[in-house]
Every structure is written in C-alpha cells, then in structure tokens.
Amino acid sequence: MRSAKQESRARVAVIGGGVAGSSIALYLGRRGVDVTLFEKKKSLVDGPPMCHLHAGGNLYREISDAQCLTLLHESIELLRFYPFAIDYRPTVIAVPTDDKGDPSDLYPRLKMLQKSYQKLIDQDPKNAVLGSSDDYYRCYSEAEIRALRAAPDTILHPQTADEWMTGVAKSIDLSKVKFPLILVQEYGLNMFRIAATATLALKALKNVQLMMQSSVSHILPTAKGWKLRYQEEGRSDEAAFDYLINAAGFRSGMIDDMINSRRQRHVEFKSAYVTEWREQPQTLPEIVFFGERGTPKGMAQFTPYPDGYFQLHGMTKEITLFDDGLVQSSTESAQPKLDKKYLDKIDKVWKKRMHCDVLSPPSTT
C-alpha cells in the first residue's frame, strides 16, 4: 500500500525509455516525484547510436542559426546532466574540393556560436563544459596541416587541438579538401554510458519504478488523470496516473492516437554502418566531409570507436537515405506509417547479407 505521504505526491507515467524518457524519469525522480517508466525492450536507451552532441548544428547547412543556438543550449544541458557519458574528442569539418561550398562560409555561424557560448558561461560558469569559448573552434591552414603531417610521432592519446589534428593530417588525402580545416569542440555522445548511467541511477531511486518489457496498449482519460493498460511479459495489468509523458520515440504518434491528440509528426528512416580500419595507427577525432544531401557526394561522417572500428554515416542513397524513408502523419493517424520492410529492420534484425561485407575498408579520402 502507498503511504499518506506517497498519496500526496503526483504520479507520473513516462512511456518510452530512450534518452528522452530515461532523462525525464531521472530528472523527476531526483525531485521526489513518483515515476513509472514503461519500456518495451529489455534495456533503456536501446535505440540507434548518436555520433555527437550536435552542439550548435555546425555540421548541417540546412538548419537555421536559431536552430543552431537552440541545439547549443540543449547540448550543454545534456552534457551537464550526463557528465560521464561523453567522449571528449573534437569534430573536424572538411570541405571537399568538388563541393560548391567553402570553409569560410562557416565563419559567421562559428563566431555567433562562440559568442553565444560565452554568454551562457557568463550566466553560469558551470556551462563551460566545452572548454574555454576562446578554444571553441580553430582553423588550420594547409601549411599547418602539412607540418603536422610531417611530424614523426604516432599519437595514441591526443590532448591538444594540434595532437587531434595530427591524426587527421596523416590520414586524409590533402589534395581532395579545401583549406582551412576546422576543428570544433563538439564532443562525442556515448550512448552505452548514458544507458548505464540512467539505469543505475533510476534503480537507486525508491520512488521510480522501471517497467521493462512492458507495452502500453490503451490509455483512458479519468477525472484525475489517466489510466494505462499495459502488457508485461505476457500478462495484462493497469495503473492510474496524474500525468502522462509521451517519450515513445518514432512511435510517439501511436500514443497521440490513444489520447486523441492529432499532432503532425515526421519520421525519417536512416542508417549508418560500422567497419574496421585496424591499420590506422593514429587516434582520430570525428571527421565530417561536407556535401549536398541526397546526392552521391552527400555529407559523410566518420566516427571513431575503440579497437579500430568506425561508424560511417553519409547523406546519400547508397549509405543512409532510403526511398520512402521520410513519412508524415495522415488525417487518420498521428503516427507516420513506415513501410513494413523498415519496421522489420527496427524491430527485428537486418539480414546477414545487408550487414556483412557491405562496405570495403575506408580509403584515405
């Protein structure tokens, strides 16, 4: 039975245990709220990997400056919330010689973000999680890059900007990029650490209940809030809550439908691939090669993982983008309808022929 003190506290149901749902549950739980988190999988934060913080969205030409500022602020909040879940390595931006853009096109945005970052630090010194604002980004000329390339040292544990850039200088074809190359303090997001941090922290809170392998099937409004019906390991049950938080990820539209909320949503099915490059002796930052989305020269992200593994993410139909992969809500449902072949990839597994030997080892371009 719940005590009188427990009865006086609001009861909140969070549907979905991804980054958003787990973080909300942890935030509320630490403030004494009674939280029940429903997650249909066996573990939290069990979705697709994220490469980096997207601090300010420097990597995308398509988004606006206003969106960049929002992303910068949100990235700092995320890093402060999960300080032990970040890979502290920068991101290098390179513009290929056959791209229509120029590195200098980024200068106004980078200066704007640098100035905004300093304002956030002035408001609260704890916001200085990306280092000094003076070091937020740095441009490297061709002469500087070639000098780093000529350095004899193999750097396994880079600490400074020059040491991080040395691996880049030694690994890419310098004749195929425009200068300067730009290094930005945009760190990596380690989803495995976030999953572990959220799971351990939530389990330690007595006022938080984790309902793993639990799927919500019906949501009914009541005079005081909501009644949820759910299935847990083959059995059905129900529970009443004062508040409901929809954090169901790309299936959020299904929850909208249950509560008769006709929100307009978009879902895009994309992918990335992992390959090995064990011959690479240097420790690399993330490298982003700019390009026009959806073309054979689309933007490519090269994300390092331990032991010689790299994630490749390219805005091309050959790697990331899929026909009919972008869908939106209809008049009948808030849930965008993805083709069954994509849902099978999400809910089941990719066929072996699709994930073995799909990519040859990366070249130095």
Eight-class DSSP state of 54: -
Q: Are residues 277 and 175 both part of a single domain?
A: yes
Say yes or no: 32 and 133 in one domain.
no
CATH number of the CATH domain containing 27:
3.50.50.60
The pLDDT, as a whole number, for residue 237 is 96
Please tell me the total count of domains within the chain.
2
Q: Is it the case that residue 213 has pLDDT exceeding 90?
A: yes
Strand partners, 219: 228
* C-alpha distance across the termini of the chain, in Å: 64
**What are the pLDDT digits (tens) for 131-168?**
999 999 999 999 999 999 998 877 889 999 999 999 99
The confidence band for 251, taking pLDDT boundaries of 50, 70 and 90, is very high
Comparing 355 with 263, the larger pLDDT belongs to 263
3-state secondary structure of 133: helix
Is residue 54 a contact partner of residue 19, using CB atoms and an 8 Å limit? no
What is the CA angle 117-121-125, rounded to 5? 150
Whole-number pLDDT of residue 35: 98
Q: Are 313 and 301 in contact (CB under 8 A)?
A: yes
How many other CB atoms are there within 10 angstroms of residue 260's CB atom? 9
Higher pLDDT pick, 242 / 296: 242
CA neighbor of 331 nearest in space, from 281, 257, 271: 257
Does 315 share its domain with 197?
no
Q: d(Cα 328, Cα 256) in Å, to the nearest integer?
A: 14
**What pLDDT is recorded for position 51?**
67
pLDDT tens across 51-86, in order? Answer: 677 766 677 777 899 999 999 999 999 999 999 888
Same domain, 182 and 272: yes
Helices 142-149 & 161-171, crossing angle to 10 degrees? 80
Confidence of residue 240 (pLDDT cuts 50, 70, 90): very high
What whole-number percentage of the chain has pLDDT above 70? 92
Q: How confident is the model at residue 279 (pLDDT cuts 50, 70, 90)?
A: confident
- Alpha-carbon Rg of the chain, whole angstroms? 23
Is 115 inside a domain boundary?
yes
Contact at 8 Å (CB) between 269 and 325?
A: yes
Least confident of 13-17, 143-147, 232-236: 232-236
Strand partners, 302: 287, 312
Backbone φ, ψ for residue 168 (5° rounding) = -65, -45
Q: Which residue has the tokens 């945009």?
A: 186
- More confident: 280 or 77: 77
pLDDT band at 358 (very low <50, low <70, confident <90, very high): very low
Q: So what's the pLDDT on residue 6?
A: 55
Q: Both 178 and 196 in a single domain? A: no
Q: Do 227 and 99 have their domain in common?
A: no
Domain boundary among 261, 290, 319: 261
Establish if 342 belongs to a structural domain: no
Residue 1 has pLDDT above 70, yes or no: no
Same domain, yes or no, for 203 and 332? no
**Rounded (10°) CA dihedral 188, 193, 195, 201:** -130
pLDDT of residue 62: 79
* Share above pLDDT 90 across residues of the chain, in percent, rounded to a whole number: 66
Q: Are residues 271 and 303 in the same domain?
A: yes
Residues 11 and 114 in one domain: no
356 domain residue, yes or no: no
- Domain coverage including residue 149: 75-186+267-336
Residue 182, strand partner residues: 93, 139
Model confidence band, residue 48 (pLDDT cutoffs 50, 70, 90) = low
Domain boundary among 218, 241, 261: 261
Whether 360 is covered by a domain: the verdict is no
* Whether residue 127 sits in one domain with residue 210: no
Q: What share of the chain is helix, strand, coil (3-state, %, to 5)?
A: 35, 25, 40
Mapped onto helix, strand or coil, the DSSP state of residue 142 is: helix
Q: Which of 218, 239, 261 is the last residue in one of the domains?
A: 261
Cα–Cα distances in angstroms (integers) from residue 285 to residues 53, 92, 167, 191, 310, in the given order: 14, 7, 8, 17, 11
Distances (CA, A) of 325 to 62, 214, 281: 19, 27, 37
pTM of the full structure:
0.87
Q: Any idea which of 79-83, 115-119, 271-275, 334-338 has the lowest mean pLDDT?
A: 271-275
Residue 337 has pLDDT above 90, yes or no: yes
Which residues neighbour 107 within 8 Å (Cβ) at sequence distance 6 or greater? Answer: none
In a domain, 348, yes or no: no
CATH of the domain at 154: 3.30.9
- Considering the domain architecture, whether residues 146 and 295 belong to the same structural domain is answered as yes
Please check whether residue 53 lies inside any domain of the structure. no
- Asked if residue 290 belongs to a domain, the reply is yes
Task: Report yes or no on 11 lying in a domain.
Answer: yes
**173 in the same domain as 84:** yes
Sign of CA dihedral 248, 17, 78, 126: positive
Q: Is the pLDDT of residue 190 over 50?
A: yes
Mean residue pLDDT across the chain: 89
Per-residue pLDDT averaged across 234-246, rounded?
A: 96
Residues contacting residue 2 through CB under 8 Å, at least 6 positions apart: none
